[in-house]
Structures are given as C-alpha cells and as structure tokens.
Amino acid sequence: DSGVTQTPKHLITATGQRVTLRCSPRSGDLSVYWYQQSLDQGLQFLIHYYNGEERAKGNILERFSAQQFPDLHSELNLSSLELGDSALYFCASSGTGETRGPQHFGDGTRLSIL
C-alpha cells in the first residue's frame, strides 16, 4: 500500500460528459502529480501541484484542469470527454517538492468513454 488513495477506481461515461477524479496523497506529502496511461501514448505526465500551487504542466489538454486543496487532496477534472480520453489516470505524491525524489503512486482510476 503506497498510502496514495484514488477514487473512484472505475468510471464509465459517455462522450461530451464531465468527470472528476480525486486523489489523497500520502500523509505529509506536499506534492501531487497526475499521469495518464494509455496503450498508444504510454505513461504521460499531466501536471504537478505543490502545496496548493501549480508547479509544472505536461501534455495536459485544455479540456482538463486540476487543483490542490488546502487539505492537500487534489482533483483532476476532465470535460467534453472524447473516446480518446479513455485511459488509466494515476495520481502520485512526494514529500520533496521541487527536488528529484521518488514519487509514490495510487492504484489509478480507469476511465472508459462509451
């Protein structure tokens, strides 16, 4: 158990809809990261938050947004969903902020767009 909790485990929805994925980091970790895992793109970095502030953006679509709340949990919002958004979305956390320490991953949310 990594200590990172993601909910829900599975989401099935339709094109054009909006969903929210939730992540609770390990106790004491200030950094939260979001990644997308798909068969064609592999594991892709989406965004990094540190103590409520956005610190880095990767290949995140404009239809996607994230935030980190004062209690340090994070949410990833995906809107106007397309078939290609079907993927496994991982959250990770670390306690080392801007340094290069290891990230600890949750079990992911599997998103299926019908």
- Give least dist CB 113 to another protein, A: 20
Phi then psi dihedrals of residue 85, to 5 deg: -85, -5
71/49 Cα distance (integer angstroms): 13
59/70 Cα distance (integer angstroms): 25
Answer yes or no whether residue 31 interacts with another protein by CB under 8 A: yes
Consecutive H or E run containing 89:
strand 87-94
Piece of the chain touching another protein by CB under 8 A; list 12-20, 64-72, 76-84, 98-106:
98-106
- Give least dist CB 108 to another protein, A: 5
Answer yes or no whether residue 67 interacts with another protein by CB under 8 A: no
Q: Residue 25: name the closest of 6, 47, 10, 7 by CA.
A: 6
Of positions 36, 81, 85, 90, contacts another protein by CB under 8 A: 90
Answer yes or no whether residue 58 interacts with another protein by CB under 8 A: yes
Answer yes or no whether residue 48 interacts with another protein by CB under 8 A: yes
Contacts of residue 59, Cβ cutoff 8 Å, sequence gap at least 6:
36, 44, 45, 46
Answer yes or no whether residue 101 interacts with another protein by CB under 8 A: yes
Interacting residues with another protein (CB under 8 A) = 2, 4, 31, 33, 35, 42-43, 45, 48, 50, 54-58, 90, 92, 94, 97-108
